[in-house]
């Protein structure tokens, strides 16, 4: 090549180099021109990876793709490695004569390799090969050397500028991330702001923060440029897919092209077009434990660029690890607290369901209103009423509605324990206090510390023990048997009785000072016979409860059976009704409870089956009961409501419980009948 052609070629190269958009574009053009000038069959440009000290192919011609990706020459290895080591060009006329030659094709006979040298620093090697022996000349070597030195300077300059820009952008991004972490932002908003900053500096396409949910599945806590539908689909098992493997192993993964990676599941069904998209997923670690995964996608540019972006992802993950850890910890504590509350509520529901105090009767509503008003006071409450009317249930409701609801509710029936044992049961004892006291024992009051103590049938309490109860109420101190000093307790006391304590006080059978002490608030529970309209409601409740307990599917109670239940006087009140329904559920084999499933003594107490008919005596008694139970000024409304219900019950029985026929029999519109029945539920 003469001087004129050489100068023209150099000018052409300079123009291309200056107009090249990327270093890769420039290298590929140079290699094509080198092969053209030298008449070579193959060629490559290899650059030294400064971290590994290995030569990597950056541009290649005539070499299979797998060879391009697999060939990694150490400095000093092969012809190219020797050139990178010595900085001297090598012209090999016969490769078969060179022992250290590394072949990339079986048909190659000669090779020319020149260093890429910038200011005495070797950054790579240009080599061309031919299938002809002695295919390259000294002129070829000189041309390549002249061009290679110029190219090396350009590459060094580009690398320096690019590296400096990358470093400045990374530093600015890290500073911005640190500033965002100092803001008092929720984790999702903080993540979106950080991702927006990253995208603005390195053009990230999309990203996500993945956390482990309560079901031990990896779900997308928040996403950047991801739709809500896509995020819902992004659910992974630990160890599943790229994200699952990163979480499980605690090690990051960088994928050059997601379309070529079988482990990349694309569960979010994102369309990425024809571009080569790289995926970066790094673990978020706190104290050697993985608490999440940070990942993002970005169009592939170069291996060096990918390594830089991957390193940045790891830095960002380490910076946000504390915030992610605190969020995960707070969520787990919240879940544990919620679980504990649900378990406690389940226990409370189970505890309350043994005796139920529900109803639509006016007296019931007034009682429940009163419980709601006094529940958060510390006043002692006296609950009176016949056996089985729900006195313990009211005490329980009072406790569960109070600020003491999560503390013990301790119940003791004073009439069920002999007086000789009742004192130790109430107040406890110390070891050695009497024969057989081989250890300390806490009494019921100490067991109820912080909560509520319910004393049922207090009217049967021994006169001497009444004084000790009075001291607990006044001084909040209990005296265990055999103890040298009292034990302070914080207990709210609720007492109950079916006796007339005022009368007992007048007769000297109950301490008058204790009576006035416990009678701060008095609630009287009416017997079930005075709230007959509540019988069907209670019966349905118990039916549902025992259906679940005994795994039955009894659909209801027949009208005839309800008639018997509503007419019975219920000397045992709610407790007796509950036992009757439980027995009926056990014995019933059909779809609903019939009269035959009721106890024989209850059926005998009804004069005769009514089939919707009532005797004058029954009718009069029903009206009088309604009148007596009514509040002053509401007697007429109460009686008329009762009469109306009797008529509707009669019409329903006569029409086989068909509302349309019953309404026609009564002479009212079906909607009117339905509304009245709804109001009574």
Per-residue model confidence as pLDDT tens digits over 23-77: 777 788 888 888 988 999 999 998 888 767 888 888 899 988 878 877 888 899 9
Provide CB contacts within 8 A for 145, sequence distance 6+.
89, 114
Q: Which residue has the tokens 């070529």?
A: 260
- Name the CATH superfamily for 362-526: P-loop containing nucleotide triphosphate hydrolases (3.40.50.300)
CA distance 504 to 493: 21
Q: What is the pLDDT, as a whole number, of residue 609?
A: 42
Among candidate residues 547, 447, 461, the one with its CA nearest the CA of residue 490: 447
Q: What is the pLDDT, as a whole number, of residue 267?
A: 87
Is the pLDDT at 245 greater than 90, yes or no? Answer: yes
Take residue 267 and report the two structure tokens written for it: 């569960």
CA distance 181 to 174: 11
Please state, as a whole number, how many other Cβ atoms lie within 10 Å of the Cβ of residue 236: 20
Please state, as a whole number, how many other Cβ atoms lie within 10 Å of the Cβ of residue 578: 21
Provide CB contacts within 8 A for 321, sequence distance 6+.
284, 285, 286, 291
Provide CB contacts within 8 A for 532, sequence distance 6+.
566, 567, 622, 625
| Residues composing the chain | 681
Q: Which residues of 452-469 are buried (b: 16+ CB within 10 A; e: fewer)?
A: bbbbbbbbbbeeebeebb
CA distance 336 to 175: 36
- Looking at per-residue pLDDT, the higher value among 254 and 665 belongs to 254
Is the pLDDT at 164 greater than 50, yes or no? Answer: no
Among candidate residues 182, 210, 178, the one with its CA nearest the CA of residue 283: 210
- The tally of CA atoms less than 13 A away on the side-chain side of residue 573 is 18
Take residue 232 and report the two structure tokens written for it: 């819902």
Among candidate residues 238, 209, 206, the one with its CA nearest the CA of residue 221: 209
Domain 529-679, CATH class in plain words:
mainly alpha
Among candidate residues 90, 105, 107, 112, the one with its CA nearest the CA of residue 37: 112
Q: Which residue has the tokens 């915030």?
A: 323
CB 455 within 8 A of CB 497: no
Q: First CA to last CA across the chain, in angstroms?
A: 109
CA distance 331 to 517: 47
Q: What is the pTM of this model?
A: 0.44
Q: What is the pLDDT, as a whole number, of residue 611?
A: 46
Q: In 3-state terms, what secondary structure has residue 393? A: helix
Fold match, 362-526 / 529-679 = no
Per residue in 392-415, pLDDT (tens digit) is 989 988 888 888 888 899 999 998
Q: What is the pLDDT, as a whole number, of residue 157?
A: 60
Q: What single DSSP character describes residue 598?
A: S
Four-residue CA torsion sign, 36, 38, 43, 49: negative
CA distance 310 to 522: 74
Q: What is the pLDDT, as a whole number, of residue 91?
A: 94
Per residue in 598-638, pLDDT (tens digit) is 998 887 765 544 444 445 555 666 676 667 666 677 778 77
Among candidate residues 442, 462, 453, 347, the one with its CA nearest the CA of residue 392: 453
CA distance 640 to 623: 9
- The domain locations on the chain are 3-163, 183-332, 362-526, 529-679
Per residue in 454-482, pLDDT (tens digit) is 999 999 998 889 999 999 999 999 999 98
For the domain bounded by 183-332, which CATH number is listed?
3.30.450.40
Take residue 23 and report the two structure tokens written for it: 């270093």
- Name the CATH superfamily for 3-163: GAF domain (3.30.450.40)
Q: How far is CA 680 from CA 359, 369, 535, 663, in A?
A: 10, 19, 12, 16
Q: What is the pLDDT, as a whole number, of residue 243?
A: 92
CA distance 160 to 546: 82
Rounded mean pLDDT, 163-181: 70
| pLDDT confidence bin for 178, thresholds 50/70/90 | confident
CA distance 165 to 322: 29
Q: What is the pLDDT, as a whole number, of residue 130?
A: 95
| pLDDT confidence bin for 360, thresholds 50/70/90 | confident
Per residue in 547-606, pLDDT (tens digit) is 999 999 999 998 888 888 988 889 999 999 999 999 999 999 888 998 888 998 887 765
Four-residue CA torsion sign, 25, 29, 35, 38: negative
Per residue in 409-451, pLDDT (tens digit) is 999 999 889 888 899 999 999 888 787 778 888 999 999 999 9
Report the relative pairing of strands 54-61 and 72-74 from DSSP bridges.
antiparallel
CB 428 within 8 A of CB 476: no
Is the pLDDT at 161 greater than 50, yes or no? Answer: no
The residues with which 224 forms a beta bridge, in sequence order, are 207
DSSP structure string for 234-256? -EE-TTSHHHHHHHHH---EEES
């Amino acid at each position: 090549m003469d001087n004129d052609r050489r100068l023209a070629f150099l000018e052409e190269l300079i123009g291309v180099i200056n107009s090249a958009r990327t270093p890769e574009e420039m290298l590929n053009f140079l290699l094509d021109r080198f092969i053209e000038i030298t008449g070579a069959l193959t060629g490559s440009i290899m650059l030294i990876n400064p971290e590994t000290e290995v030569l990597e192919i950056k541009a290649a011609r005539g070499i299979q793709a797998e060879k391009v990706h697999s060939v990694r020459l150490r400095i000093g290895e092969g012809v190219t490695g020797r050139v990178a080591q010595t900085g001297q060009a090598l012209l090999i006329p016969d490769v078969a004569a060179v022992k250290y030659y590394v072949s990339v094709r079986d048909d190659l006979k000669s090779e020319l390799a020149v260093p890429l040298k910038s200011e005495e620093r070797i950054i790579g090697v240009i080599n061309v090969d031919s299938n002809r022996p002695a295919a390259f000349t000294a002129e070829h070597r000189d041309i390549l050397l002249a061009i290679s030195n110029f190219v090396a300077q350009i590459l060094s300059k580009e690398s320096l500028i690019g590296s400096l820009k990358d470093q400045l952008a990374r530093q600015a991004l890290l500073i911005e991330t640190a500033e965002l972490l100092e803001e008092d932002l929720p984790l999702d908003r903080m993540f979106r702001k950080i991702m927006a900053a990253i995208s603005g500096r390195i053009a990230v396409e999309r990203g996500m923060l993945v956390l482990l949910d309560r079901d031990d599945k990896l779900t997308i806590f928040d996403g950047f440029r991801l739709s809500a539908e896509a995020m819902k689909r992004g659910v992974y098992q630990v160890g599943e897919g790229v994200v699952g493997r990163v979480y499980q192993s605690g090690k990051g993964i960088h994928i050059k092209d997601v379309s070529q990676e079988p482990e990349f599941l694309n569960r979010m069904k994102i369309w990425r077009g024809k571009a080569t998209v790289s995926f970066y997923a790094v673990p978020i670690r706190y104290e050697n434990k993985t608490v999440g995964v940070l990942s993002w996608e970005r169009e592939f540019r170069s291996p060096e660029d990918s390594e830089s972006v991957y390193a940045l992802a790891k830095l960002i993950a380490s910076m946000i690890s504390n915030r992610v850890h605190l969020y995960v910890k707070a969520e787990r504590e919240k879940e544990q607290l919620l679980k504990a509350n649900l378990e406690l509520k389940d226990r409370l529901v189970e505890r309350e369901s043994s005796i139920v105090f529900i109803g639509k009767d006016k007296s019931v509503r007034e009682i429940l209103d009163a419980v709601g008003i006094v529940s958060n006071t510390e006043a002692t409450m006296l609950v009176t009423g016949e056996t089985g009317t729900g006195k313990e249930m009211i005490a329980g409701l009072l406790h569960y509605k109070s600020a003491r609801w999560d503390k013990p509710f301790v119940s003791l029936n004073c009439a069920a324990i002999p007086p000789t044992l009742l004192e130790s049961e109430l107040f406890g004892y110390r070891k050695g206090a009497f024969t057989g006291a081989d250890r300390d024992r806490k009494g019921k009051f100490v067991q109820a510390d912080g909560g509520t103590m319910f004393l049922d049938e207090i009217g049967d309490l021994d006169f001497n023990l009444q004084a000790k109860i009075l001291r607990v109420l006044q001084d909040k101190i209990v005296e265990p048997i055999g103890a040298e000093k009292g034990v302070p307790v914080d207990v709210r006391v609720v007492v109950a009785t079916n006796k007339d304590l005022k009368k007992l006080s007048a007769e000297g059978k109950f301490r008058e000072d204790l009576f006035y002490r416990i009678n701060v608030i008095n609630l009287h529970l009416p017997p079930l016979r005075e709230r007959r309209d509540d019988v069907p409601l209670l019966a349905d409740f118990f039916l549902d409860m025992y259906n679940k307990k005994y795994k039955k599917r009894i659909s209801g109670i027949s009208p005839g059976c309800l008639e018997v239940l509503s007419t019975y006087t219920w000397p045992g009140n709610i407790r007796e009704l509950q036992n009757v329904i439980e027995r009926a559920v056990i014995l019933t084999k059909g779809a609903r409870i019939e009269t035959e499933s009721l106890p024989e003594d209850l059926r005998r107490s009804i004069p005769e089956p009514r089939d919707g008919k009532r005797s004058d005596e029954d009718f009069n008694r029903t009206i009088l009961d309604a009148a007596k139970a009514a509040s002053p000024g509401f007697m007429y409304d109460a009686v008329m409501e009762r009469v109306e219900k009797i008529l509707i019950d009669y019409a329903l029985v006569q029409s086989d419980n068909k509302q349309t026929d019953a309404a026609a029999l009564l002479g009212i519109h079906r909607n009117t009948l339905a509304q009245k029945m709804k109001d009574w539920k």
